[in-house]
Amino acid sequence: MKRLVMLLVIVSMLPSGDLTGQDHQGTEYTVSIDGTNLRFDPPTLTINEGDSVRFLWDGEALPHNSVEENGLFDSGEPEREVDYVYTFEFGQAGIYDYFCEPHESVGMDGIITVLEVQQESELVFEPASNIDEKGSSVIFLIIIIMFSALIFYRTRIDNLREL
């Protein structure tokens, strides 16, 4: 009897609902400099909306910067030490070309491809293939009722055996 009550308590603490529609948590990627070849490293990068790109270098012999060709991001004046972060917001999916202003003519450029990520408010659940939050709550309630009935009948059977 005590085991059934404990099982009922444990089951009632389990979370219900669909956890697949969580917001995308951004990841940070780093782009550095290959000063020997005057190149960004990596030269191409594919990320998701909500991710950040950190342009990071220090102790370079020549000053560098990173500027998106349409002005979306700009790390500022060319410097030997740069620590600049840009976060691609939702709705900014696309392909972004960027370059180093002093070394653009020698091909110091890069490409960032930003993939679209669905936000939680945009997710569409199909009842045929997914159980929505109300459906999972109903199922959870049915399970609780079944366990309660099981405990009730088990107690009743134990009481009859004692007579």
The pLDDT of residue 143 is 83
Distance of CA 149 to the CA centre of its chain: 42
8 A C-beta contact, residue 139 and residue 121: no
Q: How confident is the model at residue 144 (pLDDT cuts 50, 70, 90)?
A: confident
Q: Where are the beta strands (DSSP E) in the chain?
A: 28-34, 39-41, 44-48, 52-57, 67-68, 82-87, 94-99, 109-115
Task: Assess contact for 52 and 29: CB atoms under 8 A.
Answer: yes
Boundaries of every domain in the chain: 28-121
Burial class (CB in 10 A: 0-12, 13-18, 19+), 57: buried
Residue 13 has pLDDT above 80, yes or no: no
- Indicate the range of 3-17, 64-78, 99-113, 146-160 predicted with least confidence: 3-17
Q: Which of 92, 70, 72, 97 is nearest to 84 (CA)?
A: 72
Q: Residue 45 and residue 47: Cα distance in Å, rounded?
A: 6
Q: How far is CA 96 from the centre of its chain?
A: 21
Q: What is the CATH superfamily name and number for domain 28-121?
A: Cupredoxins -  blue copper proteins (2.60.40.420)
Rounded to whole angstroms, the maximal C-alpha distance in the chain is 97
Q: CA 91 → CA 40, 49, 117, distances in Å?
A: 25, 7, 9
What pLDDT, on the 0 to 100 scale, is given for residue 17? 47
Label residue 135 exposed, middle or buried (CB < 10 Å: 0-12, 13-18, 19+): middle
The torsion angles phi and psi of 2, rounded to 5 degrees, stand at: -65, -35
pLDDT in tens, 41-67: 999 999 999 999 999 999 999 999 999
